[in-house]
Amino acid sequence: MSDEEKQYIKATTDLIPFGQEQHVPTVLLLDTSDSMNVVNKKGIRNIDQLNEGLVLLKTELMNDDKARKRADIALVSFGGEVKKIQDFTTVDNFDPPVLHASSNTPMGEAILLGMDLIETRKQLYKAQGVQYFRPWIFLMTDGAPTDMRPGDAVWDKVVDRITRGEAEKHFSLFVFGADNADMNLLKQLSTQNPPVLLAEGKIKDFFKFLSNSTAKRVNMKKGEQIEMDVTTLTGSN
């Protein structure tokens, strides 16, 4: 554990709400680059779908008593710069932000921050004796990273951490692409979960999928495996 993580845990005196429950830590890495201003055939910008989806996510999770108590959400945006919009919090305290799209796509830095947030949260769980499911990281993009390319130092660092993290069951990474996302590049990030290309106009539906997957997971018994059905996201209906 780094000195920064130790200081964070030492400074965090508030107990995690619903500490008797087994928590589901989930990091959302959301592309807010300028291309997210694109308007789809229905006349809706991708960034607006993203914002509507975040509101939908909270509403759906609040309507599920177990998910409300067990889901912990952190949010990182990457558009021009990487921003930790929301550190881990319970659904009750999650305030869906209004995100704005601009500039380029520093995806590599965002992934590294997401993995750091996971490790720090796990240490806090352990310090407070809170049980947790394997953390989830969900990445949503409509393009390709501008701060790394295959073979450069940043790419190698990111992919190495993902590979080791997944192999050691520190987290699971799920990548979703929209519109002109570079799927050939994105599929090189994870060896365990291939990226999913969303049908046009399905960004908001992604958050419904995420809430449904979370609701399933919080009701799982030990040893059970969750099956994620992405057919609603890849079809045209």
pLDDT at 155: 98
Non-local CB neighbours of 102 within 8 Å, separated by 6+ positions = 32, 33, 34, 79, 80
- Strands 24-31 and 172-177, by their bridges, are unpaired
Domains of the chain and CATH, by start? 18-234 (3.40.50.410)
For residue range 105-150, list pLDDT tens digits in order. 999 999 999 999 999 999 999 999 999 999 999 999 999 999 999 9
For the chain, residues with pLDDT lower than 50 are 11, 13
- Given a contact cutoff of 8 angstroms between Cβ atoms, the answer to whether 73 and 84 are in contact is no
Non-local CB neighbours of 154 within 8 Å, separated by 6+ positions = 108, 109, 147, 148
Q: Using H for helix, E for strand and C for coil, what is the string for 169-235?
A: CCCEEEEEECCCCCHHHHCCCCCCCCCEECCCCCHHHHHHHHHHHHHHHHCCCCCCCCCCCCHHHHC
Token pair recorded at residue 139? 């990445």
pLDDT at 227: 79
Is the pTM higher than 0.85? The answer reads: yes
Task: State the residue for tokens 């509507």.
Answer: 52
pLDDT at 215: 92
